Amino acid sequence: MSTACPDLEVLFTQLAEGHGPALEHVKTCPACAAVVEEHREMEKELFHLQDPFPPANFVPQVMARVAAAPVSTSVELRTGLSILGGALMLAFLLLVARGANAGQLGLAVAHGVVEMRAILVGVVGGMAAAWKTAAVPLSAALATLLVLSLVGLKKLAGTDVPAKV
């Protein structure tokens, strides 16, 4: 065994691994043993440290600053459009990566258009039948009753809107 002390990087690497010639050297060298012991003590102290809690008024202060500087509509619009563009690009890339050819894509779009046409014809037919059988006033009355009930329930439940800071 060599009497020269190992490099600290080698020593700590072998200490983490739990074996190696540097650890054998530590058993015979008081200077290296002191370094390893100091390292172990420092690790113990680091484990005892705790993350400090933020001050009690931290969240209200942050929310007040957010409310004081709202994001402009143009920034929100640009952000939303960039997210939409990225999602569409990703969808297109996934479609290409899966090997779907343009013919299958065209068939899928044509099938969707035909289905939408059938749904539209059904909805228009249903509206015409409702109009002819005087179901529109009944539907309007039921919708009004539903809306009034929901408004009443909201007033009974109260509002949980936090006070502005």
Residue 29 predicted with pLDDT over 70: yes
Quickly count: other Cβ atoms within 10 Å of residue 62's Cβ: 12
Mean local confidence (pLDDT), 39-47: 86
Residue 41 predicted with pLDDT over 80: yes
Residue 147 predicted with pLDDT over 80: yes
> Which pLDDT does position 2 carry in this prediction?
47
Length reported for the chain: 165
Mean local confidence (pLDDT), 130-153: 84
Residue 139 predicted with pLDDT over 90: no
> Which pLDDT does position 155 carry in this prediction?
82
Every domain of the chain and the residues it spans: 8-48, 86-155
Mean local confidence (pLDDT), 111-132: 86
**Which of these ranges, 44-53, 96-105, 116-125, has the smallest mean pLDDT?**
96-105
Residue 42 predicted with pLDDT over 50: yes
99 in helix, strand or coil?
coil
Task: Identify whether the C-beta of residue 105 lies closer than 8 Å to the C-beta of residue 95.
Answer: yes
What mean pLDDT, rounded, does the chain reach?
82
